[in-house]
C-alpha cells in the first residue's frame, strides 16, 4: 500500500483544512517546495498535491508552484484541484505531474473518457463523500448522487482509479470512514486510494485490510502524531 503525504496549496502556502472548510484552515508550511523535499527525504515514494484555490475557483491557480514542487523532487506527484478542461489536464502534466486527479468535472461531460483515452491510468478521479452523497465544487456542494452510484458511473466512464475521501472526516483526526470505503471497494473493479481522517498505524492497517491501494495522510503527519517512517514501515510489513 502506497503512502501519499498530502500537500494542499492555498495562497502559495501548504495548509490543512477541517472538513474541507476554507474558513477552518491551518498553515502547516510557508514553503510547499521545502515540504515536498522533506517528505521525499523521509522516504515518501509519492506525493499528493492539491490546488485548493483552484478547486474553489473551478480552474487551476497554482500550476507554477506545482511545477516548482515537481522539479524539486525525484518522486512522482499526483496533482488535482480545479482541473475541469482538457487544457487544464494538459497543463497539469506539463507542470510535471505523474498523475492527474479529476474531480467535479468527471461526473458529467466527456472530459473523463477523453482524458483516459489520451493518458490512460495516469488519470485518477476524486470520489468525495458527504453523508453518503458525492461532494462537488471543491467540497462546497453536494450532489443528489449517492457515492456508490457515482463510483459505478465513474467506472463505466473509464476511470482507472478512484480516490475516496469522506469530507466530514478530513482533517479531523477521528479515523477514516472504513465502512464507506469498503463499500466502494466492494462495488468497483478498479484500485481505490483512501483519504480523510487517517491518524495512526492502526488506521493504516485497517485500510490495507479493507483493500486500499494507497492512503493519503495530511494532518497527522504535520502534527507529528504519525511519523512517515513508521507509516512506511507498517505498510511494508503488512505487505
Q: Catalogue the active-site residues.
A: 8, 128
Helices (H), 75-227: 86-94, 111-119, 147-156, 178-187, 201-209, 219-223
The count of C-alpha atoms lying within 13 angstroms of the C-alpha of 72, restricted to the half-sphere facing its C-beta, is: 18
Distance of CA 20 to the CA centre of its chain: 12
225 near 208, Cβ under 8 Å? no
Rg for the chain, CA atoms, rounded: 16
> How far is residue 105's CA from residue 107's CA, in Å, rounded to a whole number?
6
Bridging pattern class, strands 133-136 and 123-130:
antiparallel
Q: What is the DSSP letter of 225?
A: S
Q: Residue 81, SS3?
A: coil
Which residues, in sequence order, are bridge partners of residue 78? 48, 99
> How far is residue 57's CA from residue 104's CA, in Å, rounded to a whole number?
12
> How far is residue 195's CA from residue 209's CA, in Å, rounded to a whole number?
15
Amino acid at each position: 500500500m502506497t503512502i501519499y503525504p498530502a500537500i494542499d496549496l492555498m495562497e502559495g502556502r501548504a495548509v490543512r483544512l477541517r472538513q474541507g472548510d476554507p474558513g477552518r484552515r491551518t498553515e502547516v508550511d510557508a514553503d510547499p517546495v521545502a515540504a515536498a523535499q522533506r517528505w521525499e527525504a523521509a522516504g515518501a515514494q509519492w506525493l499528493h498535491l492539491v490546488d485548493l484555490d483552484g478547486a474553489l475557483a473551478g480552474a487551476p491557480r497554482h500550476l507554477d508552484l506545482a511545477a516548482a514542487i515537481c522539479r524539486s523532487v525525484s518522486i512522482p506527484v499526483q496533482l488535482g484541484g480545479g482541473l475541469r478542461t482538457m487544457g487544464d489536464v494538459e497543463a497539469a502534466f506539463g507542470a510535471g505531474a505523474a498523475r492527474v486527479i479529476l474531480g467535479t468535472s468527471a461526473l458529467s461531460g466527456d472530459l473523463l473518457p477523453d482524458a483516459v483515452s489520451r493518458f490512460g491510468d495516469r488519470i485518477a478521479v476524486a470520489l468525495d463523500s458527504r453523508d453518503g452523497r458525492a461532494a462537488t465544487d471543491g467540497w462546497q456542494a453536494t450532489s443528489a448522487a449517492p457515492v456508490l452510484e457515482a463510483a459505478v458511473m465513474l467506472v463505466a466512464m473509464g476511470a482507472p482509479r478512484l480516490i475516496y475521501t469522506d469530507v466530514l472526516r478530513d482533517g479531523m483526526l477521528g479515523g477514516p470512514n472504513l465502512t464507506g470505503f469498503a463499500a466502494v471497494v466492494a462495488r468497483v473493479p478498479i484500485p481505490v486510494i483512501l483519504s480523510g481522517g487517517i491518524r495512526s498505524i492502526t488506521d493504516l492497517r485497517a485500510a490495507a485490510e479493507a483493500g486500499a491501494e494507497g492512503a493519503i495522510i495530511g494532518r497527522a503527519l504535520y502534527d507529528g502524531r504519525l511519523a512517515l517512517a513508521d507509516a512506511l514501515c507498517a505498510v511494508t510489513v503488512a505487505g
